[in-house]
Amino acid sequence: MRPRPHRVGPEQQVAGIAEQRLASVGARRVLLCGLAAIALGAASGALAPQLAVLLGSRLLEGLGFLLVMVSAPALLNRVVDVGAGDITMAVWSCVIPFGIALALVAGPIFDGWRAIWWASAAFAALLFVLASVIVPEVSPRTGPARAG
């Protein structure tokens, strides 16, 4: 029996294009733009006078979340030693479940939904400042050293 040829599906093609664009812009810059979008979206949501503005703020937060979720693994992959890549990605995979659990535990301590949005904006702004200071701009690793 002959092996089947490997076919690239549309989702893999889109991911490849996104990865190329990310590399051309810089993962650090994309991460910072994502954090800024989350902070701005959360703050505008906290101030939303009507539902349409609230929905728009959630759209902006979602875009920021997408930018962070795409850029952070790329940055981690570049700054972490090749031998520690598996454990690093395993820990990174816990981000969303941890965030959900944290929201469930911390949610009741806030007075209302606007306070939650303000806390989210402040946390994203803090992460933006920390990432601006701590996260280096790194180029992609290629070649034999990357093959691990």
Nearest to 33 by CA among 110, 105, 127, 97: 127
Q: CA gyration radius for the chain?
A: 18
Give this prediction's pTM.
0.78
Please give the pLDDT value at position 145.
47
What are the two backbone dihedrals, phi and then psi, of residue 9, each rounded to the nearest 5 degrees?
Answer: -80, 170
The structure tokens 């180029």 sit at: 139
Q: How many residues does the chain have?
A: 148
**pLDDT per 10-residue tile (average), the chain, 148 residues:** 63 64 80 97 96 96 94 86 87 91 92 94 97 84 47
Domain residue limits, the chain = 27-135
